[in-house]
Amino acid sequence: MYSLIRPLLFRLDAETAHRLVFFTMKAGGAAARWLIRSTSYQPSPRLGCSIAGLELLSPVGLAAGMDKNGDLARLWPEMGFGWIELGTVTAHAQPGNPKPRMFRFPDAGAIINRMGFNNRGSAALVSHLKNLPRSTVPCGINLGKSKITPLDEAVSDYALSTERVVDLADYLVINVSSPNTPGLRSLQDADSLRDITDAVVSRANGKPVFVKLAPDLGDEALLDAVHVAQTHGAQGIIATNTTIQRHGLPDVGPGGLSGRPLHQRSVEVVRLVSKNTDLPVIGVGGIQSGEDVLRMLAAGAEAVQLYSALVFEGPRLISRLNRFLDTTLDQHQLTSISELKTAIRAGDIPIAPG
Ligand SMILES: Cc1cc2nc3c(=O)[nH]c(=O)nc-3n(C[C@H](O)[C@H](O)[C@H](O)COP(=O)(O)O)c2cc1C
Protein backbone atom coordinates (compact mmCIF):
# COMPACT_ATOMS: atom_id res chain seq x y z
CA MET A 1 0.00 0.00 0.00
CA TYR A 2 2.69 2.50 1.07
CA SER A 3 4.72 1.54 -2.00
CA LEU A 4 1.82 2.80 -4.14
CA ILE A 5 1.49 6.21 -2.49
CA ARG A 6 5.18 6.69 -1.69
CA PRO A 7 6.07 8.13 -5.16
CA LEU A 8 3.33 10.75 -4.74
CA LEU A 9 4.44 11.63 -1.22
CA PHE A 10 8.03 11.99 -2.37
CA ARG A 11 7.00 14.34 -5.15
CA LEU A 12 5.50 16.67 -2.53
CA ASP A 13 7.47 18.89 -0.21
CA ALA A 14 8.34 16.88 2.94
CA GLU A 15 6.08 18.77 5.30
CA THR A 16 3.14 18.79 2.86
CA ALA A 17 3.50 15.01 2.57
CA HIS A 18 3.55 14.70 6.36
CA ARG A 19 0.42 16.83 6.65
CA LEU A 20 -1.38 14.91 3.93
CA VAL A 21 -0.70 11.58 5.65
CA PHE A 22 -1.85 12.98 9.00
CA PHE A 23 -4.98 14.52 7.46
CA THR A 24 -5.91 11.26 5.72
CA MET A 25 -5.26 9.08 8.75
CA LYS A 26 -7.14 11.43 11.06
CA ALA A 27 -10.08 11.69 8.71
CA GLY A 28 -10.06 7.90 8.35
CA GLY A 29 -10.66 7.59 12.12
CA ALA A 30 -11.64 4.13 13.31
CA ALA A 31 -11.56 2.72 9.76
CA ALA A 32 -7.95 3.83 9.26
CA ARG A 33 -6.97 2.36 12.62
CA TRP A 34 -8.69 -0.92 11.75
CA LEU A 35 -6.96 -1.03 8.37
CA ILE A 36 -3.55 -0.38 9.88
CA ARG A 37 -4.11 -2.94 12.60
CA SER A 38 -5.37 -5.63 10.26
CA THR A 39 -2.35 -5.21 7.98
CA SER A 40 0.23 -4.99 10.76
CA TYR A 41 2.07 -7.72 12.61
CA GLN A 42 1.23 -7.37 16.28
CA PRO A 43 4.16 -8.05 18.63
CA SER A 44 3.93 -11.38 20.44
CA PRO A 45 3.80 -11.21 24.26
CA ARG A 46 7.46 -12.35 24.26
CA LEU A 47 8.48 -8.91 22.93
CA GLY A 48 7.22 -7.19 26.06
CA CYS A 49 9.89 -5.58 28.21
CA SER A 50 10.01 -3.01 30.96
CA ILE A 51 11.94 0.19 31.52
CA ALA A 52 11.63 2.35 34.61
CA GLY A 53 8.45 0.52 35.54
CA LEU A 54 6.82 0.99 32.12
CA GLU A 55 5.57 -2.19 30.47
CA LEU A 56 6.40 -1.84 26.77
CA LEU A 57 4.57 -4.17 24.37
CA SER A 58 7.69 -4.24 22.20
CA PRO A 59 11.05 -2.47 22.55
CA VAL A 60 10.27 -0.58 19.31
CA GLY A 61 8.87 2.88 20.04
CA LEU A 62 7.83 6.02 18.18
CA ALA A 63 10.35 8.86 18.62
CA ALA A 64 9.30 12.40 19.51
CA GLY A 65 8.56 14.94 16.80
CA MET A 66 6.46 12.76 14.52
CA ASP A 67 3.22 13.46 16.38
CA LYS A 68 3.80 16.65 18.33
CA ASN A 69 0.12 17.30 19.07
CA GLY A 70 -1.00 13.71 19.58
CA ASP A 71 -3.21 13.81 16.48
CA LEU A 72 -2.64 10.13 15.73
CA ALA A 73 -2.08 9.00 19.31
CA ARG A 74 -4.51 6.10 18.87
CA LEU A 75 -3.08 4.97 15.55
CA TRP A 76 0.56 4.28 16.43
CA PRO A 77 -0.10 1.28 18.71
CA GLU A 78 -2.14 -0.35 15.90
CA MET A 79 0.99 -0.19 13.73
CA GLY A 80 2.81 -2.34 16.26
CA PHE A 81 4.70 0.30 18.22
CA GLY A 82 5.25 -1.04 21.71
CA TRP A 83 5.38 2.46 23.19
CA ILE A 84 5.05 5.99 21.89
CA GLU A 85 6.26 9.50 22.62
CA LEU A 86 4.21 12.58 21.75
CA GLY A 87 5.57 16.14 21.53
CA THR A 88 7.77 18.04 21.74
CA VAL A 89 5.22 20.38 23.27
CA THR A 90 6.04 23.75 24.77
CA ALA A 91 4.20 25.84 27.37
CA HIS A 92 3.14 28.32 24.66
CA ALA A 93 1.67 27.35 21.29
CA GLN A 94 4.09 28.34 18.54
CA PRO A 95 4.29 28.15 14.74
CA GLY A 96 7.91 26.99 14.50
CA ASN A 97 10.45 28.22 11.97
CA PRO A 98 9.62 29.54 8.49
CA LYS A 99 9.08 26.92 5.77
CA PRO A 100 10.61 25.02 4.11
CA ARG A 101 12.05 23.41 7.22
CA MET A 102 12.13 19.67 6.54
CA PHE A 103 14.22 18.03 3.81
CA ARG A 104 14.36 14.34 2.83
CA PHE A 105 17.35 12.61 1.26
CA PRO A 106 15.99 9.20 0.23
CA ASP A 107 19.28 7.85 -1.15
CA ALA A 108 21.01 8.59 2.13
CA GLY A 109 17.99 7.56 4.23
CA ALA A 110 18.34 10.92 5.96
CA ILE A 111 16.25 13.93 6.97
CA ILE A 112 17.36 17.43 7.92
CA ASN A 113 14.81 19.46 9.85
CA ARG A 114 14.60 22.83 11.52
CA MET A 115 10.94 22.63 12.51
CA GLY A 116 11.54 24.61 15.71
CA PHE A 117 8.94 22.89 17.91
CA ASN A 118 5.88 23.85 15.86
CA ASN A 119 3.11 22.75 18.21
CA ARG A 120 -0.25 23.78 19.62
CA GLY A 121 1.16 23.97 23.16
CA SER A 122 0.96 21.72 26.20
CA ALA A 123 -2.51 22.97 27.23
CA ALA A 124 -3.97 22.04 23.83
CA LEU A 125 -2.34 18.61 23.96
CA VAL A 126 -4.00 17.97 27.29
CA SER A 127 -7.44 19.08 26.03
CA HIS A 128 -7.03 16.71 23.09
CA LEU A 129 -5.76 13.69 25.03
CA LYS A 130 -8.46 14.07 27.69
CA ASN A 131 -11.05 13.15 25.08
CA LEU A 132 -9.28 9.98 24.00
CA PRO A 133 -9.30 6.58 25.65
CA ARG A 134 -6.08 5.91 27.53
CA SER A 135 -3.31 4.69 25.22
CA THR A 136 -3.00 0.92 24.90
CA VAL A 137 0.79 1.24 25.10
CA PRO A 138 2.94 3.44 27.37
CA CYS A 139 2.66 7.01 26.09
CA GLY A 140 5.25 9.61 26.98
CA ILE A 141 5.14 13.35 26.52
CA ASN A 142 8.27 15.18 25.46
CA LEU A 143 8.70 18.73 26.79
CA GLY A 144 10.67 21.62 25.33
CA LYS A 145 11.16 25.32 25.96
CA SER A 146 8.96 27.86 24.17
CA LYS A 147 10.90 30.11 21.83
CA ILE A 148 9.54 33.28 23.49
CA THR A 149 10.68 32.17 26.94
CA PRO A 150 14.16 33.51 27.74
CA LEU A 151 16.74 30.83 28.47
CA ASP A 152 17.07 31.98 32.10
CA GLU A 153 13.34 31.33 32.59
CA ALA A 154 13.41 27.91 30.93
CA VAL A 155 12.71 26.12 34.22
CA SER A 156 9.29 27.73 34.58
CA ASP A 157 8.38 26.71 31.03
CA TYR A 158 9.21 23.03 31.65
CA ALA A 159 7.52 23.19 35.06
CA LEU A 160 4.27 24.59 33.67
CA SER A 161 4.08 22.00 30.90
CA THR A 162 4.81 19.22 33.38
CA GLU A 163 1.99 20.33 35.67
CA ARG A 164 -0.40 20.39 32.73
CA VAL A 165 0.43 17.05 31.13
CA VAL A 166 1.48 14.87 34.05
CA ASP A 167 -1.86 13.10 34.56
CA LEU A 168 -2.04 12.11 30.91
CA ALA A 169 1.54 10.94 30.48
CA ASP A 170 3.02 7.57 31.40
CA TYR A 171 6.47 9.14 31.32
CA LEU A 172 7.95 12.57 30.66
CA VAL A 173 10.95 13.57 28.59
CA ILE A 174 13.09 16.64 29.10
CA ASN A 175 14.22 17.72 25.66
CA VAL A 176 17.28 19.92 25.93
CA SER A 177 18.87 18.64 22.76
CA SER A 178 17.02 20.00 19.74
CA PRO A 179 19.32 22.15 17.60
CA ASN A 180 16.36 24.21 16.33
CA THR A 181 15.51 26.43 19.31
CA PRO A 182 18.23 29.04 19.84
CA GLY A 183 20.32 28.20 22.91
CA LEU A 184 18.31 25.12 23.87
CA ARG A 185 21.28 22.80 23.84
CA SER A 186 23.05 25.00 26.39
CA LEU A 187 20.44 23.72 28.84
CA GLN A 188 22.40 20.45 28.84
CA ASP A 189 24.98 22.25 31.00
CA ALA A 190 25.09 21.01 34.58
CA ASP A 191 23.39 23.94 36.34
CA SER A 192 20.53 24.34 33.90
CA LEU A 193 19.93 20.62 33.56
CA ARG A 194 19.92 20.24 37.34
CA ASP A 195 17.27 22.93 37.79
CA ILE A 196 15.08 21.66 34.95
CA THR A 197 15.34 18.06 36.11
CA ASP A 198 14.47 19.06 39.68
CA ALA A 199 11.46 21.05 38.45
CA VAL A 200 10.12 18.24 36.25
CA VAL A 201 10.84 15.34 38.62
CA SER A 202 9.26 17.14 41.56
CA ARG A 203 6.04 17.63 39.55
CA ALA A 204 6.00 14.21 37.87
CA ASN A 205 3.91 12.49 40.58
CA GLY A 206 6.38 9.61 40.62
CA LYS A 207 6.17 9.01 36.86
CA PRO A 208 9.50 8.32 35.21
CA VAL A 209 11.35 11.26 33.70
CA PHE A 210 13.86 10.72 30.90
CA VAL A 211 16.43 13.19 29.57
CA LYS A 212 17.09 13.30 25.82
CA LEU A 213 20.63 14.20 24.82
CA ALA A 214 22.38 15.46 21.70
CA PRO A 215 24.91 13.34 19.81
CA ASP A 216 27.13 16.38 19.33
CA LEU A 217 28.19 16.63 22.97
CA GLY A 218 31.68 15.34 23.69
CA ASP A 219 31.99 12.21 25.83
CA GLU A 220 32.79 14.16 28.99
CA ALA A 221 29.85 16.54 28.57
CA LEU A 222 27.54 13.61 27.88
CA LEU A 223 28.61 11.83 31.03
CA ASP A 224 28.32 15.05 33.05
CA ALA A 225 24.76 15.49 31.80
CA VAL A 226 23.93 11.87 32.60
CA HIS A 227 25.38 12.26 36.08
CA VAL A 228 23.31 15.39 36.76
CA ALA A 229 20.16 13.77 35.37
CA GLN A 230 20.65 10.68 37.51
CA THR A 231 21.49 12.45 40.73
CA HIS A 232 18.44 14.66 40.31
CA GLY A 233 16.00 11.83 39.85
CA ALA A 234 15.76 11.17 36.10
CA GLN A 235 15.07 7.50 35.41
CA GLY A 236 16.36 7.10 31.89
CA ILE A 237 18.40 8.64 29.08
CA ILE A 238 17.27 8.93 25.48
CA ALA A 239 20.22 8.88 23.10
CA THR A 240 20.10 10.64 20.76
CA ASN A 241 18.43 13.64 19.23
CA THR A 242 19.46 14.84 15.73
CA THR A 243 23.00 15.95 14.90
CA ILE A 244 24.32 19.20 13.47
CA GLN A 245 26.92 17.19 11.49
CA ARG A 246 26.16 16.97 7.78
CA HIS A 247 27.82 13.75 6.57
CA GLY A 248 28.28 15.19 3.07
CA LEU A 249 24.62 15.95 2.41
CA PRO A 250 23.70 19.00 0.27
CA ASP A 251 23.52 22.34 2.08
CA VAL A 252 19.93 23.13 3.00
CA GLY A 253 20.79 25.51 5.82
CA PRO A 254 20.69 24.93 9.56
CA GLY A 255 18.88 22.04 11.21
CA GLY A 256 19.28 18.61 12.74
CA LEU A 257 20.20 15.55 10.72
CA SER A 258 18.52 12.22 11.43
CA GLY A 259 18.30 8.81 9.81
CA ARG A 260 20.99 6.42 8.55
CA PRO A 261 24.02 8.79 8.79
CA LEU A 262 23.25 9.33 12.49
CA HIS A 263 23.14 5.65 13.40
CA GLN A 264 26.79 5.03 14.16
CA ARG A 265 27.14 8.03 16.47
CA SER A 266 23.89 7.24 18.30
CA VAL A 267 25.10 3.67 18.90
CA GLU A 268 28.39 5.06 20.23
CA VAL A 269 26.55 7.37 22.61
CA VAL A 270 24.30 4.54 23.79
CA ARG A 271 27.39 2.40 24.44
CA LEU A 272 29.20 5.18 26.30
CA VAL A 273 26.21 6.12 28.45
CA SER A 274 25.14 2.58 29.27
CA LYS A 275 28.69 1.64 30.30
CA ASN A 276 28.80 4.55 32.69
CA THR A 277 25.39 4.49 34.33
CA ASP A 278 22.84 2.02 35.54
CA LEU A 279 20.01 4.16 34.19
CA PRO A 280 18.15 2.53 31.31
CA VAL A 281 19.22 3.96 27.96
CA ILE A 282 16.86 4.28 25.01
CA GLY A 283 18.60 4.10 21.65
CA VAL A 284 17.41 6.41 18.86
CA GLY A 285 19.12 7.29 15.62
CA GLY A 286 19.03 5.78 12.15
CA ILE A 287 17.20 2.58 13.05
CA GLN A 288 15.76 1.11 9.88
CA SER A 289 16.28 -2.65 10.17
CA GLY A 290 16.13 -5.47 12.69
CA GLU A 291 19.92 -5.60 12.69
CA ASP A 292 19.96 -1.92 13.71
CA VAL A 293 17.70 -2.74 16.67
CA LEU A 294 20.01 -5.59 17.68
CA ARG A 295 23.03 -3.28 17.41
CA MET A 296 21.37 -0.79 19.76
CA LEU A 297 20.50 -3.56 22.24
CA ALA A 298 24.06 -4.89 22.03
CA ALA A 299 25.39 -1.39 22.78
CA GLY A 300 23.32 -1.38 25.96
CA ALA A 301 19.95 0.08 24.94
CA GLU A 302 16.96 -1.28 26.84
CA ALA A 303 14.54 -0.13 24.13
CA VAL A 304 14.64 1.86 20.90
CA GLN A 305 12.72 4.57 19.09
CA LEU A 306 12.62 5.68 15.48
CA TYR A 307 11.29 8.42 13.25
CA SER A 308 13.12 8.90 9.92
CA ALA A 309 12.93 5.31 8.65
CA LEU A 310 9.15 5.42 9.01
CA VAL A 311 9.10 8.24 6.45
CA PHE A 312 11.13 6.21 3.97
CA GLU A 313 9.76 2.73 4.61
CA GLY A 314 6.16 3.38 5.68
CA PRO A 315 4.12 1.70 8.41
CA ARG A 316 5.07 -1.87 7.44
CA LEU A 317 8.53 -1.16 8.84
CA ILE A 318 7.20 -1.65 12.36
CA SER A 319 5.74 -5.04 11.45
CA ARG A 320 9.08 -6.02 9.91
CA LEU A 321 11.02 -5.03 13.03
CA ASN A 322 8.67 -6.84 15.42
CA ARG A 323 8.56 -9.95 13.21
CA PHE A 324 12.36 -9.89 12.99
CA LEU A 325 12.61 -9.82 16.79
CA ASP A 326 10.15 -12.70 17.16
CA THR A 327 12.02 -14.72 14.51
CA THR A 328 15.35 -13.99 16.19
CA LEU A 329 13.95 -15.28 19.50
CA ASP A 330 12.82 -18.47 17.73
CA GLN A 331 16.13 -18.98 15.97
CA HIS A 332 18.09 -18.76 19.19
CA GLN A 333 15.49 -20.54 21.32
CA LEU A 334 15.03 -17.54 23.56
CA THR A 335 11.81 -16.74 25.33
CA SER A 336 12.02 -12.99 25.97
CA ILE A 337 13.62 -9.70 24.97
CA SER A 338 15.47 -9.76 28.23
CA GLU A 339 17.10 -13.11 27.26
CA LEU A 340 17.85 -11.65 23.84
CA LYS A 341 19.66 -8.69 25.40
CA THR A 342 21.74 -11.01 27.56
CA ALA A 343 22.65 -13.26 24.62
CA ILE A 344 23.52 -10.36 22.37
CA ARG A 345 25.67 -8.62 24.95
CA ALA A 346 27.50 -11.89 25.62
CA GLY A 347 28.31 -12.03 21.91
CA ASP A 348 26.21 -15.18 21.37
CA ILE A 349 24.31 -13.61 18.48
CA PRO A 350 26.40 -12.15 15.66
CA ILE A 351 25.41 -8.70 14.37
CA ALA A 352 26.49 -7.27 11.05
CA PRO A 353 28.64 -4.12 11.40
CA GLY A 354 26.48 -0.96 10.99
C1 LIG B 1 11.18 16.22 11.31
C2 LIG B 1 11.69 15.82 12.68
C3 LIG B 1 11.20 16.46 13.81
C4 LIG B 1 11.67 16.12 15.07
N5 LIG B 1 11.14 16.74 16.16
C6 LIG B 1 11.56 16.37 17.39
C7 LIG B 1 10.97 16.94 18.54
O8 LIG B 1 10.05 17.74 18.46
N9 LIG B 1 11.43 16.54 19.75
C10 LIG B 1 12.44 15.61 19.90
O11 LIG B 1 12.82 15.28 21.02
N12 LIG B 1 13.00 15.04 18.81
C13 LIG B 1 12.57 15.38 17.58
N14 LIG B 1 13.13 14.79 16.48
C15 LIG B 1 14.26 13.83 16.67
C16 LIG B 1 13.77 12.39 16.72
O17 LIG B 1 12.92 12.15 17.83
C18 LIG B 1 14.97 11.42 16.81
O19 LIG B 1 15.66 11.66 18.03
C20 LIG B 1 15.95 11.61 15.67
O21 LIG B 1 15.26 11.90 14.47
C22 LIG B 1 16.80 10.35 15.45
O23 LIG B 1 15.99 9.25 15.13
P24 LIG B 1 15.75 8.76 13.61
O25 LIG B 1 17.11 8.69 12.95
O26 LIG B 1 15.08 7.44 13.73
O27 LIG B 1 14.89 9.78 12.97
C28 LIG B 1 12.67 15.11 15.20
C29 LIG B 1 13.15 14.47 14.06
C30 LIG B 1 12.67 14.80 12.81
C31 LIG B 1 13.20 14.06 11.61
Q: Residue 286: its pLDDT value, please?
A: 98
Residue whose Cα lies nearest atom 22 of ligand 1: it is 285
On whether residue 151 sits in a domain, the answer given is yes
Q: Residue 255: its pLDDT value, please?
A: 98
What is the whole-number distance in angstroms between the Cα of residue 242 and the centre of ligand 1?
6
What is the whole-number distance in angstroms between the Cα of residue 262 and the centre of ligand 1?
11
Q: Which helix (H) or strand (E) holds 22?
A: helix 14-38
* Residue 251 CB coordination number (10 Å): 7
On whether residue 354 sits in a domain, the answer given is no
pLDDT tens for 243-265 read: 999 999 999 999 999 999 999 99
Average pLDDT, integer, range 87-116: 98
**pLDDT exceeds cutoff 80 at 1:** no
Q: Residue 274: its pLDDT value, please?
A: 98
Of residues 40, 177, 178, 289, which has the active-site annotation?
A: 178
The C-alpha atoms of residue 343 and residue 333 are separated, in whole angstroms, by 11
Please give the radius of gyration of the chain, using alpha carbons only, rounded to the nearest integer: 19
Mutation test residue for ligand 1: of 13, 81, 181, 242, the one with most atoms within 8 Å of CB = 242
On whether residue 324 sits in a domain, the answer given is yes
Q: What is the 3-state secondary structure (H, E, C) of 196-261?
A: HHHHHHHCCCCCCEEEEECCCCCHHHHHHHHHHHHHCCCCEEEECCCECCCCCCCCCCCCEEEEHH
Q: Residue 176: its pLDDT value, please?
A: 95
Q: Which residues contact 337 (CB under 8 A, 6 or more apart)?
A: 46, 47, 48, 49, 59, 325, 329
Q: Residue 154: its pLDDT value, please?
A: 97
pLDDT tens for 137-173 read: 999 999 999 999 999 999 999 999 999 999 999 999 9
2 pLDDT band, cuts 50/70/90, is confident
**Percentage of the chain modeled with pLDDT above 90:** 98
On whether residue 75 sits in a domain, the answer given is yes
Geometric angle at alpha carbon 64, from 49 and 130, rounded to 5°: 85
Residue whose Cα lies nearest atom 5 of ligand 1: it is 65
On whether residue 169 sits in a domain, the answer given is yes
Average pLDDT, integer, range 168-185: 95
Q: Residue 29: its pLDDT value, please?
A: 97
What is the whole-number distance in angstroms between the Cα of residue 332 and the centre of ligand 1?
33
On whether residue 352 sits in a domain, the answer given is no
**pLDDT exceeds cutoff 90 at 354:** no
**pLDDT exceeds cutoff 90 at 188:** no
What CATH number is attached to the domain comprising 329?
3.20.20.70
Average pLDDT, integer, range 103-131: 98
On whether residue 273 sits in a domain, the answer given is yes
3 pLDDT band, cuts 50/70/90, is confident
Show the beta-strand stretches assigned E in the chain: 49-51, 54-56, 60-62, 83-89, 102-105, 110-113, 139-143, 171-175, 209-213, 236-239, 256-259, 281-284, 301-306
Query: Domain of 267?
Result: 2-345
Decide if 52 contacts 211 (C-beta within 8 A): no
On whether residue 350 sits in a domain, the answer given is no
What is the whole-number distance in angstroms between the Cα of residue 334 and the centre of ligand 1?
32
Mean pLDDT value across the chain: 97
**pLDDT exceeds cutoff 90 at 330:** yes
Domains: count for the chain: 1
**pLDDT exceeds cutoff 90 at 352:** no
- Which residue ranges have their beta carbon within 6 Å of ligand 1? 63-65, 68, 88, 102, 111, 113, 115, 117, 142, 175, 178, 212, 241-242, 258-259, 262, 284-287, 306-309
Average pLDDT, integer, range 322-328: 98
Active site residue 178: yes
Q: Residue 9: its pLDDT value, please?
A: 95
Mutation test residue for ligand 1: of 241, 267, 281, 317, the one with most atoms within 8 Å of CB = 241
